[in-house]
Amino acid sequence: MDQSPIHNGAAPTAAVDLRRLTKVYAGRGRVEGKKALDAVTLAIPRGAFFGLLGPNGAGKSTLINILAGLVIKTSGEARVWDYSIDSHQRLARSAIGVVPQELNLDPFFTPRELLEVQAGLYGVPKAERRTDEILEAVGLADKAHAYARTLSGGMRRRLLVAKAMVHNPPVLVLDEPTAGVDIQLRQQLWSYVQDLNRRGTTVLLTTHYLEEAEALCDRIAIIDQGRLVADDETQALLRRLDSKVLTVVADRDLDAVPPALAAFDPELKAKRRLIFRMKPSQTSVGAILAGLQAAEVTVADLTTEDADLEDIFLKLTGGDHAVTPADQ
Ligand code: ADP
């Protein structure tokens, strides 16, 4: 059986390992071929909660579809759980569970039937099936016998996560899993996925919601036009921009930036608001506070703002394709 070597074998360091992975979609007629992935080399560590980000058309789905066996790569190598997708296609595929973007479900199956059929497809023996446990975990136990067509969008999404988990794959891929799912259900979905991750499942997530990626992922890769432009720990990536905005509200009107603060080059807004744009590696907040004291400015209020993933994303991808939930 495909399953046993995966779970009994030595666990690899990289759950997914890509070497110069390239995909060129063939052109048709006068339409030129499209290089969707350009020599992407990337290792997704075992146990990671990994975010794969990039603007529309960057190549994320192509990458995932190659891993899932739905798109044939042009060149390079890809291994899932140390199984090459070329020489050990079946094992590589059974090591991964993919939650697709589309909400396609056979409308005449109930969630329970759907999971049983899927388990059958993967050859999971009846005694090892965890159908009820999975339905419970995704909050669909009470819908076990409802027709899929009667399920809401959020429920269908969770059913797709359940479907991807029936063969207990060590790697779970979620492709834009929360598009169109309301906040509460998103949180429910995430708490389930985080729990899976804590218990050892490696999670690969693509999302448009940068805040979600920032909060969930311990490591993030960014691709743009088929090329890898970043691959780092989330916190290290955030530190990379090295920028912070410190806003100070003074307790009195200021006519100009006091000379003692000139070195920090703040912007004076509306007489009382001083905005310091600083590089934490070069200037400390303490130095600015000392400057304020020297200038005899009493601070009525103070806020700081760190760079967020969106800033990094825009910087690395050229900034001409902002990604917001409104893009969906
Ligand atoms: P993403 O998932 O990041 O939005 P995709 O992997 O879907 O990106 O697409 C990457 C590029 O490949 C895009 O330019 C897209 O138009 C192109 N592409 C995707 N699928 C096909 C296909 N079947 N045939 C031709 N070009 C495609």
Q: What is the mean pLDDT of residues 197-217?
A: 91
Contacts 24+ apart (CB under 8 A), 237-243: 237/309, 237/312, 238/214, 238/306, 238/307, 238/308, 238/309, 238/312, 240/312, 241/307, 241/311, 241/312, 241/315, 242/279, 242/280, 242/281, 242/307, 243/277, 243/278, 243/279, 243/280, 243/307, 243/311
Provide the residue type at 184 as one letter.
Answer: Q
Domains located in the chain, CATH noted: 14-95+169-238 (3.40.50.300), 243-306 (3.30.70.100)
What pLDDT, on the 0 to 100 scale, is given for residue 180?
67
- Tokens found for residue 225: 């036009």
Integer CA distances (angstroms), 145 to 135, 140, 150, 188, 291, in order: 11, 10, 11, 21, 68
72 vs 30: CA distance, rounded Å? 22
Distance 225 CA to ligand 1 centre (A): 10
Q: Which residue has the higher pLDDT, 5 or 45?
A: 45
The set of residues, in sequence order, having a beta carbon less than 8 Å from that of 142 and lying 6+ positions away, is none
- Tokens found for residue 293: 């004291």
Instruction: Kindly report which listed range (11-15, 205-209, 265-269, 282-286) carries the lowest average pLDDT score.
Output: 205-209
Tell me the per-residue pLDDT of 65-112, one tens digit each, with 9 for 90 and over.
999 999 999 999 999 999 999 999 999 999 999 988 777 788 788 999
Integer CA distances (angstroms), 180 to 51, 157, 208, 326, in order: 19, 9, 11, 11
Going by alpha carbons, the residue nearest to atom 24 of ligand 1 is 25
Going by alpha carbons, the residue nearest to atom 22 of ligand 1 is 25
179 vs 132: CA distance, rounded Å? 26
- Tokens found for residue 274: 């001083």
Q: Which atom of ligand 1 is nearest to the CA of 223?
A: 3
What pLDDT, on the 0 to 100 scale, is given for residue 328?
37
Tally Cβ neighbours within 10 Å of residue 283. 17
Going by alpha carbons, the residue nearest to atom 27 of ligand 1 is 25
Identify which of 22, 25, 40, 74 to mutate to test ligand 1's pocket (most ligand atoms within 8 A of the CB): 25
Tell me the per-residue pLDDT of 172-201, one tens digit each, with 9 for 90 and over.
999 887 766 777 777 878 888 999 999 999
Integer CA distances (angstroms), 310 to 147, 227, 322, in order: 40, 19, 8
- Tokens found for residue 164: 């991807």
Q: Which residues line ligand 1 (CB under 6 A)?
A: 25, 34, 36, 54, 56-62
- Give the length of the chain: 328
Distance 101 CA to ligand 1 centre (A): 14
Above 90 in pLDDT, residue 320? no
What pLDDT, on the 0 to 100 scale, is given for residue 319?
61
Identify which of 37, 62, 66, 328 to mutate to test ligand 1's pocket (most ligand atoms within 8 A of the CB): 62
Distance 63 CA to ligand 1 centre (A): 10
* Residues of the chain by 3-state class (helix, strand, coil), percent to 5: 35, 25, 40
193 vs 7: CA distance, rounded Å? 19
Tell me the per-residue pLDDT of 226-247, one tens digit each, with 9 for 90 and over.
999 999 999 998 888 788 899 9
Above 60 in pLDDT, residue 262? yes
Q: Which atom of ligand 1 is nearest to the CA of 59?
A: 6
What pLDDT, on the 0 to 100 scale, is given for residue 241?
79
Distance 57 CA to ligand 1 centre (A): 5
Identify which of 61, 227, 228 to mutate to test ligand 1's pocket (most ligand atoms within 8 A of the CB): 61
**Mean of the per-residue pLDDT values for the chain?**
88
Distance 211 CA to ligand 1 centre (A): 24
- Tokens found for residue 214: 């920032």
Identify which of 22, 31, 34 to mutate to test ligand 1's pocket (most ligand atoms within 8 A of the CB): 34
Distance 245 CA to ligand 1 centre (A): 37
230 vs 235: CA distance, rounded Å? 13
Contact 17, 43 (CB under 8 A): yes
What pLDDT, on the 0 to 100 scale, is given for residue 108?
83
Q: Identify the residue whose tokens are 């146990």.
A: 47
